[in-house]
Structure 1
Amino acid sequence: MNRSSRQGPVVAMLLATTLSSHAASPVGDPAAGAAAFRMCASCHQVGPSAHSVFGPQLNGVIGRRAGTLADYAYSPAMRKSGIVWNEQTLARFLRDPGDTVPGTKMRLWGIGDERKIANLLAYLRQYPPVK
């Protein structure tokens, strides 16, 4: 058995491990998400009295069509994006808002820490739409 034939199974195993770790997103911790949300709170609100200010309020954001809150003036790009916010689309947007929705008004460079994104999503899941 030559060296390259011995490396094949090892390379395949490493590749499978890498792919599966990227496919599964971390579960997230709502308490850590609350701490991480502090950086968002200058523009966004959540909770029973939340309203849109510099950014849209985020109650019920998961499952909501992007650019549809009546009390916020979204960018034309966001209104036309066709995105429905779910775990994957929100994570992608948090990683790189400008790449996800070119022309967005979001003023965030992006979050590169997957754990922080998972924590933020866990925190936001706690806030259904306010009736």
Structure 2
Amino acid sequence: MSRILTAACTTAMLLICSTAFAQEGDVAAGEIVFKKCGVCHNVDSDKAKVGPSLQGVIGRQPGTKEGFKYSKAMTDFGAGKTWDEALLTTYLADPRGVVKGTKMAFAGLKDPKDIANVIAYVKTFSTAQ
């Protein structure tokens, strides 16, 4: 019984580790995916475009970037939250579904690899990594 339990625990740990590794994004691939986002957002500048700058977004409260006028939906959504990989993953898959009433017109990224890659890229422009 002990060996079966040990084997099961080892298998579970390997699956958890491989899943976490698989979700790590590729920065170079993320830079390519970000071109879809870059139409409206900067990461390499603090200046807003149509959307707020995403420079330093990791660790920031949603809807709080100084100098950008957010929708009420986004500021309400952001209360008590912080942009991290988990929240960005959910949001980037379906921005309008996650924040009903957002001004952001983008439908989202459907491929989980694209989401992981763009997050890896955006992280390179954030101090809280």
**Given the two structures, how large is their TM-score scaled by the length of structure 2?**
0.78
CA distance in 2, matches of 1:20, 1:110: 27
Alignment-derived partner of residue 67 in structure 2: 71
Is 1:32 matched with 2:29? yes
Alignment-derived partner of residue 124 in structure 1: 122
Is 1:103 matched with 2:101? yes
| Count of residues paired in the alignment | 110
- Structure number, greater radius of gyration: 1
Runs of 4+ in 1 over 6 A off after TM superposition: none
CA drift of 1:20 comes to 5.7
CA distance in 2, matches of 1:92, 1:107: 16
Aligned-partner SS, 2:86: helix
Aligned-partner SS, 1:51: coil
Q: What amino acid sits opposite 1:123 in the alignment?
A: Y
**Given the two structures, how large is their TM-score scaled by the length of structure 1?**
0.77
Stretches of structure 2 that go unaligned for 5 or more consecutive residues are 1-11
Alignment-derived partner of residue 85 in structure 2: 87
Aligned-partner SS, 2:58: coil
CA distance in 2, matches of 1:128, 1:61: 6
CA drift of 1:128 comes to 2.2
CA distance in 1, matches of 2:49, 2:94: 22
CA drift of 1:110 comes to 1.6
